[in-house]
Amino acid sequence: MARDTVETHFTEAVATLEAGPPRDPGAPVREGSSLTGEQCRTLFRRQLDSRLLDIAARWLREQEEGFYTIGSAGHEGNAAVAAALRPTDPALLHYRSGAFYLTRSELAGRLSEQGIRDVLLGLSAAADDPIAGGRHKVFGHPDLAVIPQTSTIASHLPRAVGVAFAIERARALGVPSKWPQDAIAVCSFGDASINHASALSGLNTAAYATYQGQSLPMLFVCEDNGIGISVRTPKGWVEATARRPGIEYFAADGCDLAAAYDAAVRAAEHVREHRAPAFLHLSTVRLMGHAGSDVELAYRTQREIRADLERDPLVRTAAMLVEAGLETPEGLLKMYESAREHILRVAKETSRRPRLGSAKEVMAPIAPRSPELIAKISPTAAAVQVRERAFAGALPEDDKPLTLSLAINRTLADALAVYPEMTVFGEDVGKKGGVYGVTRGLQKRFGPGRVFDTLLDEQAILGLALGAGVSGMLPVPEIQYLAYLHNALDQIRGEAATLSFFSQGAFTNPMVVRVAGYAYQKGFGGHFHNDNAVGALRDIPGLVIASPSRPDDAASMLRTCLAAARTSGSVCVFLEPIALYNTRDLFEDGDGGWLAPYAPPARWPETHVPIGRARAYGDGRDLTIVTFGNGVRMSLRAAVRLTQEGYGCRVLDLRWLAPLPIDDLVRAAELTGNVLIADETRHTGGVSEGVVTELLDAGFTGKIARVSSADSFVPLGAAAQHVLLSEAEIEQAARKLLG
């Protein structure tokens, strides 16, 4: 629907309104409602401003000075939701939340002009847009507790549930939170998005938690305009989907400001008082189409479009004010024209603001890190008495050398002792201690409030981490297997990694995701339990991917990741080679070559591993074998045999798959002039492709060869040997390279 049709309808409809007898502005705007006349007048102005911002967005696009035209027209009733909440309640809003944002801004004590300017700067992609800095048009502001969302498919619902979870968990643990103890979380989304897997995950997680008696102050708000771009939502479907055990259901006409406000107040009071989730279902309309480029007549009839226009929430609020004698038609039309002129003038001004001018400017918020601060924080240890209590008097540094699994376990315990805001969670991590026992004993030592089991849903697990991180906690979720991570990769790609980028660092979601990964398990496996695909992780901007192979590296690198998350808001994936968890020997049975003593965190700097630093073994001058994970052990064994044949070999363990240790890589390559990359991931999309590219980009002129696993899924049993990288292949490739 063209904007001129919407504007014409508003002016014509308001002009025909008939004034009722005057009412006290402090009295209800109509009988039976708790919305006062004064509140109604204020909210109407925010609804009006939101509508005019949509008009401005279309005008800016016509001038080729605006870049976003998905508007809030028809959804202005969400101003009532903002008014029913506190400005300190964390809000995760969908893209039709203009009136909510403007209302929240004013309730937080800002001038109405500030909220308007925020939105216009975003529409114009201005570099001084206060939230995204010209990177995207989002609703968000750290002073308003509005966490910016770029999601169009409700992928923010798992995070929203995580925020609600974190409010209660921080209070229970007595650790600081970004939100008040009695806050509630709110997230909004459209009716079509409720069908998305991530939305269903959020709703199911909330119901699951409540079913078990856990507190979860979560308000879901579905603004149901009955259509997703061009696909209609079946009548009754939203309500049927929303009604779940433990989630209280509220509904109202979202085009009726008073009805929407009353329902929002009831829903918010329920959530705040009972600390339990509620679902607020607001029936709305969509005016001016899905976006500026949308031609509604291609899939809707004139009659359907006209029916929505007759429910215009702006007209209906105007009618309520006039009928209550609080405004006159003439006064409202004058207000409209004055506000329209003002907003278009400001839009013209903001369109002239500077925009991002270089790749460096664009990328600045992706992964800001302070290596010096990380190095300072990573060796932090708890007080002696606290450590002794955590380890029941048996300090791990006094124990015999540890396996990889035990080193990670002891490091997690040390970190839990020093970071009270840290939590460890995932499927089976509690009493069982994880599938491989890596977290065994941690729940007993630190309690179920900090080490706990979750439902079996990777989106929910990562969503809890995202919400906890943005709330000021330090989450360490576990994903049982690398293959399972792909079920929920968008929670890292589209939610975790983007938050700092689209908020200029004002919001971060620090987290260290532990993942049991790679292949080579003996006696157990097959696809899903043996996965060697990391390509989908390596192309996520700013993501840190740690891949330790030895126990001592695992301890130091895990501390580095925790410090990076805590100090810089880094999102880290910690890939743990399953096949090396309990490996003890390197060359011969009983040699203990894959064990390592536990170095306590305070023993620094010799135990600190900076992000992006490799580890070298040997000093040979003939061949450099570049590898990681399981490949380190295989390459070291192969290197010994090659050395016995007279070849001088060195092995470089990358340790970090993102960012790659480029300086160490180039240095090691130039020392020999011959580089063999032993890559246990797949030939296509594997790590070796990136290593080769970095060497070539750095101007390396020596010989390069690579050997990798095949482009295959990992089959069950001995058949896996046919497609996975082997020691024999490493040796053969080395001899071929050396001639």
What's the CA dihedral at 408, 409, 414, 418 to 10 degrees? 90
Q: What is the DSSP letter of 491?
A: I
| Residues in CB range of 413: below 8 A, 6 or more apart | 390, 391, 396, 441, 442, 445, 446
CA angle at 738 for the pair 734 and 739, rounded to the nearest 5°: 115
CA angle at 546 for the pair 543 and 547, rounded to the nearest 5°: 140
Residue of 136, 529, 608, 683 with catalytic role: 529
Beta bridge partners, 545, equal 573, 658
Beta bridge partners, 91, equal 146, 186
End-to-end CA, the chain: 72
Two tokens, residue 194: 């409720």
**CA distances (Å), 121 to each of 102, 132, 137, 362, 490, in order?**
14, 10, 8, 16, 28
Two tokens, residue 142: 């750290």
**CA distances (Å), 136 to each of 133, 169, 475, 493, in order?**
8, 32, 27, 16
**Known active-site residue 529:** yes
| Residues in CB range of 100: below 8 A, 6 or more apart | 78, 79, 81, 82, 91, 93, 139, 188
| Distance, CA of 721 to CA of 717 (rounded, Å) | 8
With the C-alpha atoms ordered 432, 434, 437, 443, is the resulting torsion angle positive or negative? negative
Two tokens, residue 643: 């050395």
| Distance, CA of 456 to CA of 459 (rounded, Å) | 9
Looking at the annotation, which residues are catalytic? 529
